[in-house]
Amino acid sequence: MKVAIVGVTGYSGTVLWQLLSQHPNVTEINIYTTQADLEAVAQQFDWQTKQTVRVLPFDAGQIMADNDVAFFATPAGVTGELAETFMANHFPIIDLSGDLRLQDPKAYQKWYHRAAEVSRETLSYATYGLTEFTATTTDYIANPGCYATATLMGLAPLVQERLIDLDSVIVDAKSGVTGAGKKLSQATHYVDVDENFSLYKLNQHQHIPEIMQQLKQWAPDMGPIQFTTGLLPVKRGLMATIYAKVTADSADVNEIIAAAFQATYMDKPFVKILANDMPDLRLVVGSNMTAIGWSYNPVTHIVTIVSVIDNLMKGAAGQAVQNFNQYFGFDETAGLAQLPLMI
């Protein structure tokens, strides 16, 4: 299997290249860039491999001729601008940016602050690749955002089974600095991040509409969510703490919630459900795992769900490989055997 990666200099693109390099079904990786200095891109990999890494100029026709699938690990706006030729030829694309996630171009413009380059018809054909909930895919797979992945994984059983008040959801999510990307900014400067914690994009984060889009597919009467994002002084890892009012009026609420999570994730190799504990980042960082725990307060009737992932793995490159495996019929765990770093 020959694969193309378009855009490999960011954190997600680099991790994607590392994963595909050890994938048992990948025989060749071709790297493409729209940057003029190809040598500068190639030098990024000199320390990682003894092999010469060839970086090629972006050419849609050449990519389709020389590869079986293309991963786009590019900033928002790039896939939409470059991918039309691939889409016209039904060439498989797995996009790690947000360009194919939202079905409404107006929503994309509102939340990403740029015009959508992809038509509504094309967007409606794209598959939102939350892998645990995607039985089949189209040729265009929109890899979910990191915040969306952690939040949706934590909410799915409760929303699908209507165990919570659909107007009561509050999400307090925090990510490591790599989630902000590689582009330099004051917010991610070491001096400002180290020994600090800050909120950002309050009520404005671009992952909110994709979360709502998916929740409404599970429950059309889903109400709006309160969503807060914060920046942790760590390199990677993401924790979504979710609060919702439980509607079940029963002494067996904990058993009902446990049964819902068990039924949803019992056969999912990358999901770990903690029965009587709360997960922390060390349980997942470095792996493609999602760890989920919860606690129900019988006084307030509020359930607290904690969902943790590695934002570069399950929140980006790892899930992209999961989608790759699913699309081509490979074992879901192929190329994703990494254990959490723990220390």
Strands (E), 132-260: 140-142, 170-175, 198-200, 226-231, 238-245
pLDDT of residue 120: 87
208-218 helix and 105-112 helix, angle to the nearest 10 degrees: 140
Percent pLDDT > 70 in the chain is: 95
**Same domain membership, residue 296 and residue 188:** yes
Establish if 121 belongs to a structural domain.
Answer: yes
**Three-state SS at 77:** coil
Establish if 338 belongs to a structural domain.
Answer: no
Is residue 51's pLDDT more than 70?
Answer: no
Quote the domain boundaries for residue 248: 146-310
Establish if 337 belongs to a structural domain.
Answer: no
**Same domain membership, residue 244 and residue 197:** yes
Is residue 98's pLDDT more than 90?
Answer: yes
Percent pLDDT > 90 in the chain is: 74
In whole angstroms, give the CA distance from residue 151 to residue 149: 6
**Same domain membership, residue 100 and residue 232:** no
pLDDT of residue 117: 83
In whole angstroms, give the CA distance from residue 231 to residue 180: 9
**Same domain membership, residue 49 and residue 191:** no
pLDDT of residue 279: 97
DSSP 50: S
Query: What is the value of pTM for the model shown?
Result: 0.95
Q: How many CB atoms lie within 10 A of CB 289?
A: 24
Radius of gyration (C-alpha) of the chain in whole angstroms: 20
In whole angstroms, give the CA distance from residue 239 to residue 315: 11
Is residue 199's pLDDT more than 70?
Answer: yes
Catalytic residues: 146
In whole angstroms, give the CA distance from residue 31 to residue 42: 9
Sheet holding 140-142, edge to edge: 55-57, 28-33, 2-6, 69-72, 93-95, 140-142, 127-128
Of the pLDDT bands very low, low, confident and very high (cuts 50, 70, 90), residue 49 is low
User: Which of residues 151 and 34 earns the better pLDDT score?
Assistant: 151
Establish if 320 belongs to a structural domain.
Answer: no
DSSP 313: I
**Same domain membership, residue 216 and residue 83:** no
pLDDT of residue 297: 94
Is residue 218's pLDDT more than 90?
Answer: yes
Is residue 140's pLDDT more than 70?
Answer: yes
**Same domain membership, residue 152 and residue 118:** no
Lowest mean pLDDT among 102-111, 190-199, 219-228: 190-199
**Same domain membership, residue 258 and residue 168:** yes
Q: Which of 64, 90, 125 is the last residue of a domain?
A: 125
pLDDT of residue 173: 98
pLDDT of residue 43: 67
**Same domain membership, residue 207 and residue 117:** no
**Same domain membership, residue 193 and residue 53:** no
Q: For all residues of the chain together, what is the average pLDDT? A: 92
In whole angstroms, give the CA distance from residue 324 to residue 332: 9
pLDDT of residue 37: 64
DSSP 35: -
pLDDT of residue 301: 95
pLDDT of residue 207: 96
Average pLDDT over residues 245-263: 91
CATH value at residue 12: 3.40.50.720
Is residue 336's pLDDT more than 60?
Answer: yes
CATH value at residue 174: 3.30.360.10
Query: What pairs with residue 71 in β-bridges?
Result: 5, 94
- Cβ–Cβ < 8 Å for 134, 156: no
**Three-state SS at 8:** coil
Is residue 52's pLDDT more than 70?
Answer: no
Q: What share of the chain is helix, strand, coil (3-state, %, to 5)?
A: 35, 20, 45
Average pLDDT over residues 242-247: 97
Lowest mean pLDDT among 38-42, 83-87, 206-210, 255-259: 38-42
**Same domain membership, residue 165 and residue 82:** no
First to last CA, the chain: 35
Is residue 50's pLDDT more than 60?
Answer: no
Establish if 324 belongs to a structural domain.
Answer: no
How far apart, in Å, are the Cα atoms of 162 and each of 151, 156, 171, 297? 16, 10, 18, 18
pLDDT of residue 230: 96
Is residue 191's pLDDT more than 60?
Answer: yes
In whole angstroms, give the CA distance from residue 223 to residue 221: 6
Is residue 62's pLDDT more than 90?
Answer: yes
What does the buried/exposed string (b/e) look like for 1-37 if buried means 16 or more CB atoms within 10 Å of the residue's CB?
A: bebbbbbbbbbbbbbbbbbbeebeebeebbbbbeeee
Establish if 132 belongs to a structural domain.
Answer: no
Establish if 140 belongs to a structural domain.
Answer: no
- Cβ–Cβ < 8 Å for 159, 166: yes
**Same domain membership, residue 228 and residue 178:** yes
Q: How many CB atoms lie within 10 A of CB 259?
A: 14
**Same domain membership, residue 86 and residue 11:** yes
Residues 6+ apart with CB under 8 A from 47: none
In whole angstroms, give the CA distance from residue 222 to residue 213: 10
Establish if 333 belongs to a structural domain.
Answer: no
| Total domains in the fold of the chain | 2
Is residue 42's pLDDT more than 80?
Answer: no
